[in-house]
Chains A and B, each alone.
Chain A
Amino acid sequence: MLLKVKDLSKTFIVGLLRKKEIHAVRKVSFNIKKGEFISLVGESGSGKTTTSRMILRILKPSSGSVIFEGKDPWALHKIEDLKWYWKQVHGIFQDPFASFNPLYKVDRILYQTFNLLNIESDAEKEHLVKESLKEVGLRPEEVLGRYPHELSGGQRQRIMIARCYLLKPKLIIADEPISMIDASTRAGILKLFSDLRNNYGTSVIFITHDLGLAYYVSDRIMIMHNGSIVEEGTPDEIMEHPKHHYTMRLKEDVPLLYRKWKGF
């Protein structure tokens, strides 16, 4: 098993005088195998992003555990161990605007990865960066050397995907990674994820609120509602025999287009 998540919970405490607890994630448990493509589906505020940040070792869980290849990332503190973890487990954030420091050229996001990789030669680095950009359908000369505010949301999202491509981690957690990418490019990006899986055995946790898209791409779907995973199964199980009333509601929202393609 590549990743084991057990009883993962996060409670935010907000308010200064009258403290209020927000249970963003409640006892979430699941496992991921090598090469598996899992979708995490749920409406806004259901706790998807919070879950992903705890796995990415960005946000400390309130309780529960994350075990990746037998190691708890929250027990890692040495810089070498952390480099290992983020080389293996990497993420794409939901908001492609906030992901870039506005003061630096976008190149920085890509060149940062060489802190995790053992590549010495500058020519090699440049070659890899350019290759990764081409891989996500961007022309290197149209994005390199530019500032984040000069690029569109879709271009920025693709740069974040290129960053993951450069690293070739064992697990990618992608939080709505293609929400701003136009339909014609989307297919190419989704193919990129499946190529990574076929060639490198990469597993993916794909976060989306679009059940139709999840049906189309995943091996397994987990439905998240109100901080808990309320249902999980293969796409067909979820679509054909939804057990939880929330899943039924989600299913009703799936655009007809997908249904036609898939014949359900």
Chain B
Amino acid sequence: MIPPILKNLLRIKKFDISVSIILFITLVGIIGPFVYTVDPTALHAPPEVPPNNKYPLGTDSYGRDLLAQLLHGIRSSLYIGLTASLISLAIGVTIGAVAGFKGGITDDSLMLVTNVVYALPSIMLMMLIAAYLKERNPLFVALIIGLTSWPWVARAVRSQLMSLKSRDFLAISRMAALSDLKIMFEDLIPNMASYIFMAFVLLMSGAMIAEAGLSMIGLGVTRGVSLGIILYWAQLLESVRRGLWWWFIPPGACLVSLATSMLLLSTSLDEYFSPRLRGR
């Protein structure tokens, strides 16, 4: 029933642990808001109440329910992470693949663009764009992150492609006069699928951290909540100094466990796939 690849992967402990954590938090973020239907922006609870029966994770200084905030925050942080990483992935893979495949001037000019974007301090770029937009919904934030974090993907995909290009089966397809596009989609990209998936996981963890970073300096979403926004308010109202632990620990823990599980997942995938794709 289970495909053999998955069966092998499930034997790796790191893989099991990281996937369980990611799945658990993701499910909480997706299903949670439907089960716990409290409005995360409503201000009518008593302020700064520690966790109790009525408010399982307590409330913040404005009287907002922190469990509701956390559930919605996970959801929109995941949404931002996913959208941003898909944008980066699309740009990075396209540029890297075309550069590596075409070579010559195409390669040189695409790599120049990539290196310029790579060298730009992306946080500055994000700040500039973010500060320029008065109204920032999650999609905007995802766009800002996605448009600035693709260069390493382009470089990695390009170098992967260079090594695939010298493999004999590519020459075999070429001798059948398959078009460049066909060779790209039939021979190259499928052989990089696992690699691209690893890049995706890394991008996603990076994007969620970047979202929190932007929020912490006041340039996050202006509507709705995200994990970064909860932390922003917690920091603004000095929750750490005042010992309001229920305010900053849950969102911080969620963020850190998501990001580290994704790193862990990507190393376990790397351990599994790299030797298989290299040698065989």
Contact = CB atoms under 8 A, between A and B. Distances in A.
B191 A101 contact: yes
B187 interface: yes
Interface stretch (A86-94, A123-131, A232-240, A247-255): A86-94
Contacts of A102: 191, 280
Nearest to B276: A102
A116 interface: yes
Contact of A98 (B168, B179, B187, B190): B168
A91 B280 contact: no
A11 to B, nearest CB: 17
A83 B174 CA distance: 10
Nearest to A99: B168
Given A101-B187, A101-B191, A102-B280, A86 B168 contact: no
A99 B169 contact: yes
Contact of B177 (A53, A83, A93, A149): A83
Most chain A CB within a 10 A radius of its CB, from B168, B173, B186, B190:
B168
Interface string A93-120: 1010111111110000100110110000
B180 to A, nearest CB: 10
A56 interface: yes
Query: Interface majority SS on B: helix, strand, loop or mixed?
Result: helix
Contact of A95 (B168, B177, B187): B168
B172 interface: yes
B191 A93 contact: no
Nearest to A109: B172
A58 B174 contact: yes
Interface string B201-233: 000000000000000000000000000000000
Given A101-B187, A102-B280, A103-B190, A58 B175 contact: yes
A58 B172 CA distance: 9
Nearest to A103: B190
Contacts of A53: 171
B178 interface: yes
Interface in B163-204: 167-169, 171-179, 186-187, 190-191
Interface in B93-142: none
What is the size category of the interface that chain B forms with chain A? Answer: 10 to 19
Nearest to B168: A98
Nearest to A113: B176
A101 B169 contact: yes
A86 B172 contact: no
B177 A86 contact: yes
A115 B171 contact: no
B190 A86 contact: no
A79 interface: yes
Contacts of A82: 177
Contacts of B190: 103
Nearest to B174: A58
Nearest to A53: B171
A101 B170 CA distance: 8
Contacts of B169: 98-101
A214 to B, nearest CB: 23
Contacts of A79: 177, 179
Most chain A CB within a 10 A radius of its CB, from B167, B172, B186, B187:
B172
Given A103-B190, A103-B191, A112 B176 contact: yes
Nearest to A98: B168
B69 to A, nearest CB: 45
A107 B187 CA distance: 15
B130 to A, nearest CB: 40
A105 to B, nearest CB: 13
Interface string B137-175: 000000000000000000000000000000111011111
Contacts of A101: 169, 172-173, 186-187, 191
A93 B168 contact: yes
Interface string A57-91: 01000000000000000000001001100100011
A149 B190 CA distance: 17
Contact of A90 (B167, B175, B178, B280): B175
A166 to B, nearest CB: 11
A98 B167 contact: yes
A101 to B, nearest CB: 4
Contacts of B178: 112, 115
Most chain B CB within a 10 A radius of its CB, from A90, A97, A103:
A103
Q: Which 4 A-B pairs have the closest CB atoms?
A: A112-B176, A98-B168, A101-B169, A83-B177
Given A58-B174, A116-B176, 7 more contacts: A79-B177, A82-B177, A93-B172, A97-B280, A98-B168, A101-B191, A103-B191
10 contacts: A90-B175, A93-B172, A95-B168, A100-B172, A101-B187, A102-B191, A112-B172, A112-B173, A115-B177, A116-B176
Interface of B: 167-169, 171-179, 186-187, 190-191, 280
